[in-house]
Amino acid sequence: MMLNRAIRHIRQLHGGVAKASRLSAWLLVGGFLLTGCSADTPDSPANGEATEVTLSLNVAVADNGQKLTRATIPADSDNPQDGDYQEPANNAEKINTLRVIIVAADGTVEHNRVVNCDQDGNPVNDNLRFLVKTETQDGSGNYPKKDIYLFANERAANAAIYESLKSLISNDPDNLNPDPTQHGGMPFDLIRPGHLFPADLVNGIVYGREAGQPLIAVTADKNDGVVTIPAKADQYIPMSEHFQLEVSPKTAKPTTENGSNLSRLEQTANLFVTRAATKFTFRAKLGQDFPAGYGMRITSITVSQISDREYLLPQATVYNPTKDFAINPANTYEGLTITGYTTPAGAGNSGYTFTLPAEGLDASAYAATAPAKYSPLEYLPETGILSSGAFTVTVTADLIAGGTVSPIQENRTFGPETLTGMQQFGSRYGMPRNTHVYVDLEFRNYSELNATVTLVPYIGVWLNPGFGIDRD
């Protein structure tokens, strides 16, 4: 009877996935042990003795922000401030697929699973529960750390992932899918449980763009009057992170569920993924001293120093607060910012010209307090910390008379103007991933342009175990 009860209990654990209203994440670690008629506290294993635990990772993405120490603003906010956190502007900026790879301390892959998510970022038909093993390292009682790799929306980087991992094919003659990019597959499927995790290959995946092209260009599709953004599965913005977690019965808390005799150990930890991209929004207005009766229509915007490549997985990235569980045991990430990072060797920087609407960006019909605004659906790599110089913007615009269509003078060039307000790392400038750069363009007169920047990190994409439970 006790065994049947345990089986029913485990089946319940593999039930459906609830919806979430918060963007947060937790890991739940539970060691399941059969006990007698009373729910006894599970004992920690002796040194060197392995124990099976269940690692439970539930995922949700919400549209409304977390309770952060900084302000959270809507995606279409007209007045962001430095350090505000911004909601996703479209589905391309949410989680569409999520892959979880769990690696044991000896480098063996324990799990490699990918799940699909609905349009709100909730897993479909998968409760993300993983049976893993842990054992003590030595007589000190310390437990080896497991590596947890999270990859969301990996299809956009399929070609780069395959290029890095294709050597695994010849090393694994039993692999029945030699080119997983075919038929809708994913190259990370080449990483197989029971095999050694190719850490150097994964950390070395470089994801880039062609000259003059964005990292990702998101398009819209209309079906029966409903606009879908993005139109294709490979246009979702990739996100990723790597954590090291000590799965330790000695720090877990024993619980008994539903009054049964099946005890378990629980351990929790917050996780997040970071968007491997940056985006820009441009706002143009006329200065107070701009001659009355005239306006400017922008026809081209180019930003300098944009990198042509980045690592898919953050490398040497420093967060504040840290994601190191030993230093930040409460796993709180309120006010999370990137304070250091690295980019691939050989990355080249060049100007990128954004695609504007055919009619341009018209500042002539707007008062100084109501700028024209445009957010291209074009996403760029993070740009490494510049060795010298600064980011600049060059603008071409037509001088027009108020109320007219034909320009009085075409293709006036402004700049390059320094983008004042880009993130500084010491005395140098950089543009880390997950950053939304607002560029305010103010035409002072026919020939003078000021360009200032407001940096707005996206809301962190959090993963949550107790769906519907607010984080305080």
The larger pLDDT score, comparing residue 250 to residue 176, is at 250
Which pLDDT does position 369 carry in this prediction?
58
- Average pLDDT of the residues in 127-148: 76
- pLDDT for 431 beyond 90: yes
Which pLDDT does position 16 carry in this prediction?
34
Pairing of the two strands 239-246 and 226-228: unpaired
**Phi-psi bin for 267: left (phi > 0), alpha (psi -120 to 50), beta?**
beta
- pLDDT for 290 beyond 80: yes
Which pLDDT does position 42 carry in this prediction?
46
- pLDDT for 61 beyond 50: no
Task: Enumerate the domain spans of the chain.
Answer: 2-276, 278-321+341-457
pLDDT tens-place string over residues 218-233: 998 766 666 678 888 8
pLDDT tens-place string over residues 393-426: 999 999 888 666 677 877 899 989 999 999 999 9
Which pLDDT does position 314 carry in this prediction?
94
- Average pLDDT of the residues in 363-384: 81
The C-alpha angle 252, 254, 256, rounded to 5 degrees, equals: 145
The pLDDT mean for the chain works out to 73
Amino acid identity at 315: Q
Least trusted range by pLDDT, from 41-45, 366-370, 412-416: 41-45
pLDDT tens-place string over residues 16-38: 333 332 223 333 332 222 222 22
Q: What is 278-321+341-457's CATH number, 1.10.3720.10, 3.40.50.300, 3.30.70.3270, 2.60.40.2630?
A: 2.60.40.2630
Which pLDDT does position 157 carry in this prediction?
93
| End-to-end CA gap in the chain | 41
Single pTM value for the model: 0.80
Which pLDDT does position 70 carry in this prediction?
33
- Average pLDDT of the residues in 247-255: 65
Phi, psi (deg, nearest 5) at residue 149:
-110, 130
Which pLDDT does position 422 carry in this prediction?
92
Which pLDDT does position 354 carry in this prediction?
96
Exposure b/e, 16-33, CB count within 10 A at least 16 = b: ebeebebbbbbbbbbbbb
Which pLDDT does position 136 carry in this prediction?
67
pLDDT tens-place string over residues 101-121: 999 999 999 999 988 887 766
- pLDDT for 202 beyond 80: yes
pLDDT tier, 380 (very low <50, low <70, confident <90, very high otherwise) = very high
Q: Which residues contact 1 (CB under 8 A, 6 or more apart)?
A: none
pLDDT tier, 331 (very low <50, low <70, confident <90, very high otherwise) = low
